[in-house]
Chain A
Amino acid sequence: MGLGIGELAIGAAIVLVAIAAIYFIAIYNNLVRQRNETRNAWAQIDVQLRRRHDLIPNLVESVKGYATHEKSTLDAVVQARNQAVSAKGPAASGEAEGLLGAALGKLFALAEAYPDLKANQNFLALQEELASTENKISFARQYYNDAATRYNNAREVFPANLIAGSFEPAELFEITVAAQREAPQVKLS
């Protein structure tokens, strides 16, 4: 019963500060969790992109034996692949992967003219692998973009934005479809 008004006020202030501190720690931890999730999602895209790059030399090898006159298409695929391998960061790799996708599309369209190639077991297996890898890239991208959007939202809302200074916003990953950009350039002559 010896507590005066002043002591009570000090006690209340301590409790309030403690609650605020716990609240901000929770927000901080949530941001860290979301940032890690975003990083993991990006790592998954990276794994799949590398897998795609690794498959392409095999594909080119198996096509070479059948389609000897299509050197320029094959070279274009190899070149696009090398550019994609050296691209860094979501924006640059998005563009390079778009170009690679277009070059691969041409290669598969060309394979239609070679029945022997289309019947080749190795080629068919590679086709399933590449198609599935493309799916995996797009699903990984889907998941990454969702995670990145969630993370970006979490760091922008109040009061998280007060302590989000050390958390860099995540860049979204879009694969630019080269075919769409090239389409208007077709000239009728």
Chain B
Amino acid sequence: MLEQIESNRRRSALIVVVMGVLLVSVGLSLGMFLTNDQGGAILGGAAALGVWMVMWLFARFQGDNALLQMAGAREIAKGDHPQLFNIVEEMTIAAGLPHMPRVFIVDDPAPNAFAVGRDPTKAAVAVTIGLLQILDRDELQGVVAHEIAHIKNRDVALMTTAGIMLGAIVLLADIGTRAMWFGGGARRSRDDNNQGGGQAISALVAIVLLVLSPILAQLIYFALSRRREYLADASGAAFTRWPEGLASALQKLGSSRTPQADQSRVTAPMYIVRPLAPGQHRNFTAALSTHPPLEERIRILRAMGKTADFAAYDRAYQQVAGGHVIGRRTLAESKPVETHAPEPIAADFVPPQPTARLREASDAYLAGAGYVRLRCPSCQALLKIPPQRQGRLNRCPRCGGQLPNAPRAAG
């Protein structure tokens, strides 16, 4: 996936530059429009440049944490959910990443997953409780492999930069709109007529930029989005040696009708499947702006047959969608690899029920959120105590019995 890594690097740089130019022009024309002289325009441009610098630095050093927080993700430790942790570690090894990404759980019943990070040494994978509930181990492995592939291909680096920069544009456009409604009208009354023409032009430019900026930001997103999902699917199949795991996971994700809490325009393109709005059904065949049609992704994975390499994915893509999707250099390096069915842990291993998986997942999330578990000595009720009550709870809320010690989370 060398081509993808290079193209992502180029595009990240391009986004930073284009956003900079865009912000500075918005700043210049806003300054011109509001103060109506050159000094004001330069001031506006300089302010925009400052905003751009801050945003860029923020995207670079805090972008991953900001996006994780926006999605409501909590970091977990190995003991909280050993299976998920193990799977992330397995896929880190299969992909040859230099560092294992941090693992997060999102408190959301809608099954979905995403990854963020600046580069492969500083990345994170987040899955929802709903995902852990409905997928078995092999399917979960497929989804995690897809996310790790995004990290390895530098898709997440691009997404993190684009996400924060998009947020900046949207914010600035909002501020500009308000300034125009409330500032522009008042000024017109005391203006002399000499500069009317110049003012009209700069007002026009300001309006055009204000209207254009969110659209442009969105357009950049569209340009980034589609192909990377196919490439991550191809890498996911190659890492796990088991395309059926990911195919069956995508099928389950597509059939779910649970709407997702996170409806942010900024975080939407990061997810493995597009977040579902309340009352919406998933259309398997629709090519949505940010995600290729699910049905096609599943059919390509299933058309790979008994091979799991990049060339096999490209053949399957050609058969289902037509054309090539994998870069030429990667194809030249790809050698045939057979699929390898994951082995069950023991001969008659019974997979855990969805309810048991749900309990395990939500317990892991609560542990990540700092809850402490304590069994009441008198009524045997298992208490999960939130951080703000820790150290203050002396009586069992169920039976009123004395609790042995006021518990606190470690650390």
Contact = CB atoms under 8 A, between A and B. Distances in A.
Contact of B345 (A112, A131, A138, A150): A131
Interface string B334-365: 01000010110111100000000000000000
B96 interface: yes
B198 interface: no
B93 A140 contact: yes
Interface stretch (B15-23, B81-89, B202-210, B299-307): B81-89
A112 B344 CA distance: 14
Nearest to B348: A112
A38 to B, nearest CB: 11
B93 A125 contact: no
B94 interface: yes
Contact of B82 (A109, A125, A140): A125
B348 A132 contact: no
A136 interface: yes
A73 interface: no
B93 A149 contact: no
A49 to B, nearest CB: 12
A111 interface: yes
B146 interface: no
Overall SS of chain A's interface = helix
A165 B78 CA distance: 45
B83 A128 contact: yes
A113 to B, nearest CB: 11
Contacts of A34: none
A48 interface: yes
A112 B96 contact: no
A119 B333 CA distance: 47
Interface string A144-166: 00010110000000000000000
Given A112-B347, A136-B86, A147-B96, 6 more contacts: A108-B346, A125-B82, A127-B346, A138-B340, A139-B239, A142-B241
A16 to B, nearest CB: 28
11 contacts: A109-B346, A109-B347, A112-B346, A125-B82, A127-B346, A128-B345, A129-B86, A132-B82, A135-B342, A136-B90, A143-B96
B96 A111 contact: no
B89 A127 contact: no
Nearest to B98: A40
A74 interface: no
Interface of B: 82-83, 86-87, 89-91, 93-96, 239, 241, 333, 335, 340, 342-343, 345-348
Contacts of B343: 131, 134
Interface residues of A, number: 25
A136 B93 contact: yes
Nearest to B335: A149
Given A109-B347, A150-B333, A139 B82 contact: no
A44 interface: yes
Contacts of B348: 112
Contacts of A149: 335
Given A112-B346, A142-B241, A132 B90 contact: yes
Nearest to B239: A139
Which DSSP category, helix, strand, loop or mixed, fits chain B's interface?
helix
A41 B90 CA distance: 13
Nearest to A137: B93
B146 to A, nearest CB: 15
A48 B83 CA distance: 16
Of residues A108, A128, A134, A139, which shows the largest number of chain B Cβ atoms within 10 Å of its Cβ? A139
- Residue among B93, B241, B335 with the highest chain A CB neighbour number at 10 A: B93
Interface in A86-114: 108-109, 111-112
Contacts of B333: 150
A138 B94 CA distance: 9
Contacts of A132: 82-83, 86-87, 89-90
Interface string A23-38: 0000000000000010
Contacts of A142: 94, 241
Nearest to A125: B82
A140 B100 CA distance: 14
A128 B137 CA distance: 11
Nearest to A108: B346
Interface in A49-108: 108
B82 A129 contact: yes
B93 A139 contact: yes
A138 B337 CA distance: 14
B90 A139 contact: yes
A174 to B, nearest CB: 13
A128 B241 contact: no
A131 B90 CA distance: 11
Nearest to A139: B94
Contacts of A37: 96
Given A128-B86, A132-B86, A136-B89, A143 B94 contact: yes
A129 B79 CA distance: 12
Contacts of B86: 128-129, 132, 135-136
Nearest to A124: B345
Contacts of A150: 333
A153 to B, nearest CB: 9
A48 B347 contact: no
B93 A48 contact: yes
Given A135-B342, A142-B241, A41 B82 contact: no
